[in-house]
Amino acid sequence: QQPVQSPQAVILREGEDAVINCSSSKALYSVHWYRQKHGEAPVFLMILLKGGEQKGHEKISASFNEKKQQSSLYLTASQLSYSGTYFCGTGTGANNLFFGTGTRLTVIP
């Protein structure tokens, strides 16, 4: 039930955009996005719910295609602080989440 993330890694220059994808083989109720800096805890970015509701940071955008069981996280005008590993967690309506293996994002000057 683990979702698949792509790409596995990406390198950006400051100001460039990136898209991170998350795909599940199961019908989804929710998709949760987190960013983790090395050695730290994952920090919540956004949750997308079946039916279109979204909760999260104003500067982060994401989409959730319920039919395709896919979500994408859009990072625009990247900053150095965006560097880290991005995880998606997928929920099927119960309380547990299944996490992908992460996408390592590196932003360089």
Partner 1 sequence: DGGITQSPKYLFRKEGQNVTLSCEQNLNHDAMYWYRQDPGQGLRLIYYSQIVNDFQKGDIAEGYSVSREKKESFPLTVTSAQKNPTAFYLCASASGRASETQYFGPGTRLLVL
**Nearer of residues 1 and 15 to partner 1, judged by Cβ:** 1
Secondary structure class of 7 (helix, strand, coil): coil
Binding-site ranges for partner 1 (CB under 8 A): 2, 29-30, 32, 34, 39-44, 47, 49, 53, 55, 87, 89, 91, 93-97, 99-102
Smallest distance from the beta carbon of 77 to partner 1, in angstroms?
Answer: 25
- Angstrom distance (rounded) from CA 14 to CA 40: 23
**Nearer of residues 33 and 82 to partner 1, judged by Cβ:** 33
**Nearer of residues 19 and 49 to partner 1, judged by Cβ:** 49
Smallest distance from the beta carbon of 65 to partner 1, in angstroms?
Answer: 19
**Nearer of residues 19 and 98 to partner 1, judged by Cβ:** 98
Q: What is the DSSP string of 14-59?
A: TT--EEEEEE-SS--SEEEEEEE-TTS--EEEEEEETTS-EEE-TT
Q: How many CB atoms lie within 10 A of CB 63?
A: 14
